[in-house]
Amino acid sequence: AQSVTQPDARVTVSEGASLQLRCKYSYSGTPYLFWYVQYPRQGLQLLLKYYSGDPVVQGVNGFEAEFIKSNSSFHLRKASVHWSDSAVYFCAVRNTGYQNFYFGKGTSLTVIP
């Protein structure tokens, strides 16, 4: 069965610092992988996605993620965070032929100015 684990429920970093949010997935086939961001009182917005090809994918607002198949990981990174990046970030996996998404529990990011 598919599952997504985000081991860090909360992360706090200072503005300008680098960031890594961890995501590990469990999936038997070839997954489609996603990172979404949820700002307070808003819906989810897609940050980036991985379907195939280059394992490092670029997203919006300077975010990137790397798919490491051997480690079943899809960590999200940003070189220098801004206070406006404070939000909840969700990692998700989807079956290539099935439409259902499976989300991790999310990581709440707080960026201290």
Partner 1 sequence: SVLLYQKPNRDICQSGTSLKIQCVADSQVVSMFWYQQFQEQSLMLMATANEGSEATYESGFTKDKFPISRPNLTFSTLTVNNARPGDSSIYFCSSLGGADAEQFFGPGTRLTVL
Is the Cβ of residue 3 or residue 80 nearer to partner 1 in the bound state? 3
Dist CA 17 CA 42 (whole Å): 25
Q: Which of 1, 22, 16 is nearest to 102 (CA)?
A: 1
Q: Measuring CA to CA, how many Å separate 63 from each of 30, 68, 81?
A: 23, 17, 9
**Hey, which residues between 88 and 107 contact partner 1 (CB under 8 A)?**
90, 92, 94, 99-106
Q: How far is the CB of 80 from partner 1 (least distance, A)?
A: 26
Q: How far is the CB of 75 from partner 1 (least distance, A)?
A: 18
Contact flags string 52-91 toward partner 1, x per CB under 8 A: --------------------------------------x-
Helix (H, G, I), strand (E, B) or coil at 62: helix
DSSP state of 14: E
Is the Cβ of residue 9 or residue 17 nearer to partner 1 in the bound state? 9
DSSP state of 65: E
- Assess 35 for contact with partner 1 (CB under 8 A): no
